[in-house]
Amino acid sequence: MTPGARLQAAIVVLDAWVAGMPVEQALTNWARSARYAGSGDRAAVRDHVYDIMRARGTCAALGGGETGRALAIGLLRMQGGDPAALFTGQGHAPDALSEAELAGGTEPAGTADVPGWTLPLLEARVGGELAPLLGAFRSRAPVYLRVNLRRIDLPGSVAALARDGVAAEPVAGAATALVVTSGARRIKSCTAYQDGLVELQDLSVQRAVRGIDWPEGRILDYCAGGGGKALAIADACGSQVFAHDANPGRMADLPPRAERAGVVIRTLDRAALARMGRFDAVLCDVPCSGSGTWRRDPEAKWRLTPERLAELERVQAAILAEAAPLVRPGGSLVYMTCSLFHAENEAQIARFCAQATGWQVAQTGCDTPLSASDGFFHAVLRAPEA
Ligand SMILES: C[S@@+](CC[C@H](N)C(=O)[O-])C[C@H]1O[C@@H](n2cnc3c(N)ncnc32)[C@H](O)[C@@H]1O
C-alpha cells in the first residue's frame, strides 16, 4: 500500500471509532476487508490511528474537525508534514484538500489531548510537571521486557534476542529490565520469548515488584488476570505463588505462561480459595482508570467518565475489604494500580486504614511516565498481629 492508501485506511478506521466502535474492532474490520494489506501496512495503519488517539485534541484543532479525515490532516500537520503531499486523490489516497482544509487550524494548548475534567487530577500527581506529562502522553511508550533471572542473565538475554533480530539494552537501575530499541514487532516470535527467558512487562511494574520485600511462605495474587504480576513475583522470590480472579476465564493464559517461565503458580477458584486459609501476602492489582498507561492505551482516556471513575473507586474499596481477611496476622496486603489519580491510590489506602483497625502503611510508591515507562502506584499494608 502507498503512504496515501495507508492514511485513507486509517481514516476509515477513525470514522468507525469516532462513531463509537472500539478501536480494535474497527482495525479488525478494516483488516478483514483489506486482504491485500501486508503486516507492514497493518502496522502503519495502526500507528496512524494510535498516534491520533494520543493527540486527538491537537489533531482535531489542526485538521479542523473530529472526522477521520480532519484528524488525519491534523496528524500530518502536527508531525510537521504537508497534508497536500498525501491528500492527492491519486490511486487509493484520500481526496485532494478543499479550500477550507488547506487553510488549516491553529495548534491548541497541550491540555486538549486529555479529557478536561482529568487535568486537576493529573496536576495533583505531578504538580508543575503537568506540561511534560501531557507531552509524554502524546508520544509512543517504549517497549520493555522483564528478564527471567532464574533462567538467564541480562547480557545473555540481550544476545538471545539479537539472534532473532530484536535489539534491546539494559535499563540503568532496574535489575530485570531491558528496553527494546528495534524489532519490537518480532518479540513474540523470538525463541527467547517463546522459551520464557523474557516477558513483556512495563518498567514501572518491574520496579514496583522488585522494590517490595515479599515474605517467605505463601503469596496470593487476588486479581491475577493474565498473571503478569504473579509471574514477576514468582521470579523475584522463592515463595509459593497462588493466583485467583473473580473472572477465572481471565487466568486462561497463566498456566502456559508459568510453564514457559519455569515457575509453578497454582490457580484457585472461589471454592479452592476458601479452603486455603490465610496467606503471608495478598496482592490486589485492582481494576482502575489506567490513567498511568494512557500512551499505551489512548482509547481508555477518551472512554473514562467521572461516573466510571466513581464506580472503579467502589470496586477498589470492595476488593480491599474482601482481600484483607485473607492476610495472616502480621502479613502484608499489597495494593497496586496503573493509575495516577489520588482517589484510586492514596485515598483508597487512607479510607481502608481508617475503617480497618490496626493496619499500618509500610511502604508506598508511585511512578509516572516521567519517572518510568508508565504511571504505577503500589502500597504495602501490614496486618495487625493477632
Ligand atoms: C488490573 S486487572 C489485573 C491484571 C493482572 N494482575 C496482570 O498483571 O496481568 C484486574 C483484575 O481484577 C479482577 N477482579 C475484578 N473484581 C475482582 C474481585 N472482586 N475479586 C477478584 N478479582 C477481581 C478482574 O477480573 C481483572 O482480571
Question: Among 133, 210, 137, which Cα is nearest to 177's?
Answer: 210
| Residue 250 Cβ < 6 Å to ligand 1 | yes
DSSP 139: S
285 assigned to a ligand binding site: yes
**Whole-angstrom Cα distance, residue 167 to residue 157?**
10
Q: pLDDT (tens digit, 9 = 90+) per residue, 310-369?
A: 999 999 999 999 999 999 999 999 999 999 999 999 999 999 999 998 999 999 999 999
pLDDT of residue 386: 76
Cα of 246 to ligand 1 centre, how many Å? 7
Report pLDDT digits (tens) over 284-310: 999 999 999 999 999 999 999 999 999
Q: What is the DSSP string of 29-94?
A: HHHHH-TT--HHHHHHHHHHHHHHHHTHHHHHHHHTSSSHHHHHHHHHHHTT--GGGT---STTSP
Instruction: Provide the grid cell at 19.
Output: 462513531
Domain ranges of the chain: 3-113, 143-201, 204-382
Q: How far apart are CA 10 and CA 46, in angstroms?
A: 7
Instruction: Tell me which amino acid residue 369 is.
Output: P
- Residue 367 counted as an annotated binding residue: no
**Residue 136, pLDDT score:** 95
Which residues lie below 8 Å from residue 306, measured CB to CB, with a gap of 6+? 117
What is the value of ipTM here, to two decimals?
0.99
- Choose one of 233, 245, 288, 311 to mutate for the ligand 1 pocket test, by most ligand atoms within 8 angstroms of C-beta: 245
Q: Which CATH number is 204-382 given?
A: 3.40.50.150
The atom of ligand 1 lying closest to the CA of 221 is 6
In CATH terms, the superfamily for domain 143-201 is Sun protein; domain 3 (3.30.70.1170)
- Would you name the residues annotated as active-site residues? 338
CA of 52 to the centre of ligand 1 (A): 29
312 phi and psi, to 5 degrees?
A: -60, -40
Q: Does 248 sit in the ligand 1 pocket, CB within 6 Å?
A: no
Strands (E), the chain: 143-147, 167-170, 177-182, 198-200, 218-221, 240-243, 265-267, 279-285, 327-337, 360-367, 376-382
Beta-ladder partners of 223? none
Phi, psi of 36 (to 5 degrees): -70, -15
Residue having the nearest C-alpha atom to atom 25 of ligand 1: 247
- Asked if 268 contacts 243 with a C-beta cutoff of 8 angstroms, the reply is yes
Residues 6+ apart with CB under 8 A from 283: 219, 220, 221, 222, 223, 229, 230, 233, 334, 336
Cα 250 to ligand 1 centroid, rounded to whole Å: 8
Cell numbers that stand for 380 in this block: 504495602
Tell me which residues of the chain have a pLDDT lower than 70: none
